[in-house]
Structure 1
């Protein structure tokens, strides 16, 4: 079996069996292509069904000189997933990454913004600009609902259930969830949809897409990144932020306000509660307040 054939089959598996997005699939297979390139450059002729742990270890060692421990860990995890697939499909008997040690890394806490910083971002939006109202609605929606950027740009008008107080979100792996929407975000979505968007003629295929660019097409992920980056520069924010920062801020502020961790997990669309638990580490005072409020030993 050739490497390219194996990688193509693996991509198909990730798409059909696991329902992953193209961006996630690209991330999973990027390091496999690097491994294939490493083999070619070192004139190592071995197929994905025959490669052993020593060769994989050589590749990891070479990569380790160029990246940090967190990236090393991600690469090992990606390779392990690929060879697990090879074993599952009976192409191999063993996984050559089983004996590889993953570098010890600390848990990286996500960047967040304060409520004042989020207000400053929104205030910095030029509402006299043709896209100003749309951009304000984007920030409010991401912060109100904790959306991933991919979930925001694919949000449909038919996903808005304002009477019920929810929006429908298509998350990772095409998993659907319903997220409560704050009255402020609901107000700005209505203004944008009824007063701004209705003056734009959507291109074919984008008739139901909520957020449109000037040409009537859906926004790209990169465009949302640029919108937030420009606003951060306007308020002279001394930290690097992204759309995901608004999602982290949403979860952190809810937790700090006393929201239940399980409820936050559902709203964020996390499969595991352990992913959501990272927000507990951002504000230790929250834990102290919980003990003081709920422990029977007053």
Structure 2
């Protein structure tokens, strides 16, 4: 099988469950094809080719991008290794995780300032305020948030809390998320308008003009604009709320297990990636282990 054909088959399969990853994967895989030329057969590619490819990226790309490329190739070769089409052992492709110690997180104070900066008297304002509150309450990934449909939201409350099913594009499994009474009030306010829209789509968050779901880029732009309005000097993204939720759980005395449960991690190791200490908790933790005179 040619490498071009094997990549197209893999991408077609990938697109069936995650269109976002498809657009990112095709860029990196085409880059790989260009590098290994004139090799054209999947079976001819060796582990040395992969090592040399990532070595060649070191002068141009960041360590994070190289690590991401390694995860893409690992996934690609797992796909074909399982079908007996390659001798490469995907376990030998080891993507290094680079965690930025200065990664921005949203604190409770940041959230409150951003929330106050929004006007909930317009449809756009209500939508943005709802997105902000759902991200803070649940720690959802933005893709999970935008995938929520009207049919995913429970009509009944669980222990007084409203719930919805969200699907992770990483695992393709559905999990429950819950949110506060204040956020539920915002949701009901928004749904009063949303259900009157002459739109057949079942998605909750829709662009009224186009009738289509909002994109992750739209939400990223919203969050940046809201942070600027609130005069917060941080590079805040939707994913910063996920880190903020983990931090808030720990601030309130929660454990790594609690972080994993509420952020719906499959692997415990994923939860440890969110254990970034806030400055106040870092000082408190460090002080406990300092010698006293």
Quick check: 1:117 aligned with 2:115?
Answer: no
Report the CA distance between 1:287 and its aligned residue.
Answer: 11
Quick check: 1:176 aligned with 2:168?
Answer: no
2:80–2:86 Cα contact (<8 Å) kept: yes
Q: What does residue 124 of structure 2 align with?
A: 131
Q: Note the alpha carbon deviations across 1:132-176, whole angstroms, 9 max, x for none.
A: 112111111111111111111121222222522222212223210
Quick check: 1:141 aligned with 2:134?
Answer: yes
Structure-to-structure mapping, 1:180-199, within 5 angstroms: 180-194=178-192, 196-199=193-196
1:256–1:286 Cα contact (<8 Å) kept: no
- Counterpart of 2:225 (choices 211, 230, 238) is 230
1:64–1:72 Cα contact (<8 Å) kept: yes
> Structure 2 vs 1, CA of residues 46 and 5 (structure 1 numbering), >3 Å: closer, same or farther?
closer
Q: What's the secondary structure of 1:178's corresponding residue?
A: strand
- Counterpart of 2:59 (choices 65, 74, 77) is 65
Q: Note the alpha carbon deviations across 1:215-267, whole angstroms, 9 max, x for none.
A: 23322222111111111121232221111111221221122112243233122
1:167–1:181 Cα contact (<8 Å) kept: no
> Structure 2 vs 1, CA of residues 237 and 81 (structure 1 numbering), >3 Å: closer, same or farther?
same
Q: What does residue 213 of structure 1 align with?
A: 207
Distance (Å, rounded) in 2 between the aligned partners of 1:8 and 1:152: 29
Distance (Å, rounded) in 2 between the aligned partners of 1:102 and 1:127: 44
Quick check: 1:93 aligned with 2:87?
Answer: yes
- Counterpart of 2:100 (choices 104, 108, 114) is 108
Structure 1 vs Structure 2 CA RMSD: 2.7
Under a length normalisation based on structure 1, what TM-score does the superposition of the two structures give? 0.82
Gaps of 5+ in 1: 293-298
Report the CA distance between 1:12 and its aligned residue.
Answer: 4.2
Q: What does residue 295 of structure 1 align with?
A: none
2:249–2:258 Cα contact (<8 Å) kept: no
Report the CA distance between 1:193 and its aligned residue.
Answer: 1.1
Q: What's the secondary structure of 2:175's corresponding residue?
A: strand
Q: What does residue 291 of structure 2 align with?
A: none
Structure-to-structure mapping, 1:270-289, within 5 angstroms: 270-283=265-278, 285=281
- Counterpart of 1:255 (choices 241, 250, 256) is 250
- Counterpart of 1:81 (choices 68, 71, 75) is 75
1:79–1:97 Cα contact (<8 Å) kept: no
> Structure 2 vs 1, CA of residues 266 and 25 (structure 1 numbering), >3 Å: closer, same or farther?
farther
2:106–2:240 Cα contact (<8 Å) kept: yes
Gaps of 5+ in 2: 289-293
Distance (Å, rounded) in 2 between the aligned partners of 1:102 and 1:135: 36
Distance (Å, rounded) in 2 between the aligned partners of 1:131 and 1:36: 44
> Structure 2 vs 1, CA of residues 274 and 288 (structure 1 numbering), >3 Å: closer, same or farther?
farther
Distance (Å, rounded) in 2 between the aligned partners of 1:286 and 1:163: 37
The range that moved more, 73-82 or 234-243, is 73-82
> Structure 2 vs 1, CA of residues 23 and 288 (structure 1 numbering), >3 Å: closer, same or farther?
same
